[in-house]
Amino acid sequence: MHIQTAAVHTLRDFEHGAVVPPVHLSSTFALDCASEGGDFAYQRGANPTRAQLETVLAALEGAQHGFAFASGMAATAAALSTLVVGDEVLLPASVYGGTYRFVDLVLPGRGVTGRFVDDLGALTDADFTPSTRAVFIETPANPTLRITDLRRISELAHRHGALVIVDNTFMTPVLQKPLDLGADVVVQSATKYLAGHSDLLAGTITTNDDALAEAFALAQKAQGGVLAPQDSFRLIQSIKTLPLRLERQQENAGAIVAHLREREDIARVWYPGSYSEEEARIHASQATGGGAVLSFELADGLDRVAFLEALHYPAYAVSLGGVESLICRPATMTHEAMTDEARANAGISPELLRLSVGIENLQDLLDDLDQALVAAR
């Protein structure tokens, strides 16, 4: 079953001939009095609607296990909660600011060390220590769109007994399946493309590892950061249009990248594979498209604030993946938790702008960008 079909038809055979799954709102469930057993007991541990969503998540990823959390950071925190005192995790310097904040401020209190690597793709055996227990990868990276070879890093990490955790938010399973490429765990901020309408907060984990699945189920039950039934239902419905939305968004993004690269008032454009021919080759070997996020800088002398204020369609706001285009300044918004030095090491300049492209008419978006560039002069 292709992913476009799986997004729609993974769940079937509902009561009364319904073609849409019901929402089970109950926080508690009656148990068998003799055995005290039952598939569900309390919503935090499990809920039928959330279980249906988790079935869909696993099917999209081609995974054995899926888990739904209350936010992308709740999912990332659960994935990193498998680390214990004395462990180390390697991450790219250009990692999502929320992940940076968690690793920089929370993990040290648990006795876990995070080491940020300028170029994660250049890792070698010498970069691993006896304490290295995980490698956390974003490919494409946020917001520089740098590419990491998932096959090579997975093989390298496993040789040293380290887990590979991949944040696949930018690609989604429609464009990239890290588990098939050697990763152990995939996390996503479902707030972004999976939900797709900037009105829902959610996070996901998928894995094929039974022991890790038990740990993530425990994280749901013990830490309580689970997705509510109503939001689980809404995410199931949103996922049905994910392939269609992403196809349109990616088409728009590719055209905008080509357009901006032709303009003298744009200093540089970042898009998956733009850093080098080698990264372009790697990305083409592990993903089926570039996605719908790009970053760019205005040429010297242009007024960034005037450019942003002149835009009609992209809202100046954090987040990405919604049907509407959004633009942000990572240095002061999504990655504000990083130090100036950390941002510099990650290649995130104060002038870098990140554009998440929506499903609007392409010509309207191009015209809007052009008139805003004129205003920036």
Q: Is the pLDDT of residue 66 over 90?
A: yes
My answer on whether 117 and 187 are in the same domain is yes
269 strand-pairing partners: 296
Which of 210, 239, 268 corresponds to the end of one domain?
Answer: 239
In degrees, rounded to 5, the angle at the alpha carbon of residue 32 between the alpha carbons of residues 31 and 37 is 70
- Burial 230-260, CB ≥16 within 10 A → b, else e: ebbbbbbebbbbbbebbbbbbebbbebbebb
Cα separation, 164 vs 179, in Å, equals: 9
Give the β-pairing of 326-328 and 315-316.
parallel
At 99, the pLDDT band (50, 70, 90 cuts) reads: very high
How much is the average pLDDT of 163-176?
98
Q: Look at the chain and report how many structural domains it folds into.
A: 2
The sign of the CA dihedral 347, 335, 114, 280 is negative
Which of 239, 260, 281 corresponds to the end of one domain?
Answer: 239
How much is the average pLDDT of 309-329?
98
- Strand, helix or coil at 17? helix
pLDDT: which is higher, 355 or 40: 355
How much is the average pLDDT of 53-74?
97
Judged by phi (left if over 0) then psi (alpha if -120 to 50, else beta), residue 327 lies in: beta
At 12, the pLDDT band (50, 70, 90 cuts) reads: confident
Task: Kindly compute the dihedral angle of the four CA atoms of residues 102, 107, 109, 111, in this order, to the nearest 10 degrees.
Answer: -170
* Structure tokens that stand for 194 in this block: 């999976």
pTM: 0.95
My answer on whether 138 and 20 are in the same domain is yes
Q: What are the E-state strand segments in the chain?
A: 65-69, 88-92, 113-117, 132-138, 163-167, 185-189, 203-207, 266-270, 293-298, 315-316, 326-328, 353-356
Q: Which of 312-316, 317-321, 339-343 has the lowest mean pLDDT?
A: 339-343
Given 167, 177, 193, 354, the catalytic residue: 167
My answer on whether 211 and 302 are in the same domain is no
Is 240 among the catalytic positions? Answer: no
How much is the average pLDDT of 116-122?
92
Cα separation, 248 vs 116, in Å, equals: 34
Task: Kindly compute the dihedral angle of the four CA atoms of residues 250, 265, 140, 85, in this order, to the nearest 10 degrees.
Answer: -140
My answer on whether 339 and 219 are in the same domain is no
Q: Is the pLDDT of residue 42 over 90?
A: no
At 36, the pLDDT band (50, 70, 90 cuts) reads: confident
Given 133, 192, 245, 343, the catalytic residue: 192
CA Rg value for the chain:
21
At 29, the pLDDT band (50, 70, 90 cuts) reads: confident
My answer on whether 303 and 230 are in the same domain is no
Q: Which amino acid is at 215?
A: A
**Residue 341 in contact with residue 231, Cβ under 8 Å?**
no
- CATH number of residue 15's parent domain: 3.40.640.10
Q: Is the pLDDT of residue 37 over 80?
A: no
Given 50, 87, 96, 271, the catalytic residue: 96
Is 96 among the catalytic positions? Answer: yes
My answer on whether 211 and 254 are in the same domain is no
How much is the average pLDDT of 335-361?
93
Which of 239, 271, 295 corresponds to the end of one domain?
Answer: 239
At 18, the pLDDT band (50, 70, 90 cuts) reads: confident
* Structure tokens that stand for 292 in this block: 């719908």
Cα separation, 313 vs 234, in Å, equals: 26
Express each pLDDT in 175-228 by its tens digit: 999 999 999 999 999 999 999 999 999 999 999 999 999 999 999 999 999 999
- CATH number of residue 277's parent domain: 3.90.1150.10
pLDDT: which is higher, 18 or 179: 179
My answer on whether 92 and 24 are in the same domain is yes
Main-chain dihedrals φ then ψ at residue 365, nearest 5 degrees: -65, -45
How much is the average pLDDT of 281-304?
98
pLDDT at site 15:
80
Residue ranges of the alpha helices (H) in 18-61?
A: 48-61
User: What is the residue range of 109's domain?
Assistant: 3-239
At 46, the pLDDT band (50, 70, 90 cuts) reads: confident
CB atoms closer than 10 angstroms to residue 107: 19
pLDDT at site 230:
97
Would you give the DSSP letter of residue 344? Answer: H
My answer on whether 300 and 365 are in the same domain is yes
Is 50 among the catalytic positions? Answer: no
CB atoms closer than 10 angstroms to residue 14: 12
Cα separation, 229 vs 344, in Å, equals: 42
My answer on whether 210 and 302 are in the same domain is no
Q: Is the pLDDT of residue 41 over 80?
A: no
* Structure tokens that stand for 3 in this block: 């992913």
My answer on whether 31 and 115 are in the same domain is yes
My answer on whether 200 and 78 are in the same domain is yes
CB atoms closer than 10 angstroms to residue 25: 12
How much is the average pLDDT of 146-174?
98
Residue 79's alpha-carbon distances to 74, 75, 213, in angstroms, are: 9, 6, 10
Looking at the chain, the whole-number percentage of residues with pLDDT higher than 70 is 100
What is the helix (H) or strand (E) element at residue 70, kind and residue range? Answer: none
How much is the average pLDDT of 138-155?
97
Given 44, 152, 263, 304, the catalytic residue: 44
Looking at the chain, the whole-number percentage of residues with pLDDT higher than 90 is 88
My answer on whether 281 and 182 are in the same domain is no
Q: Share the mean pLDDT of the chain.
A: 95
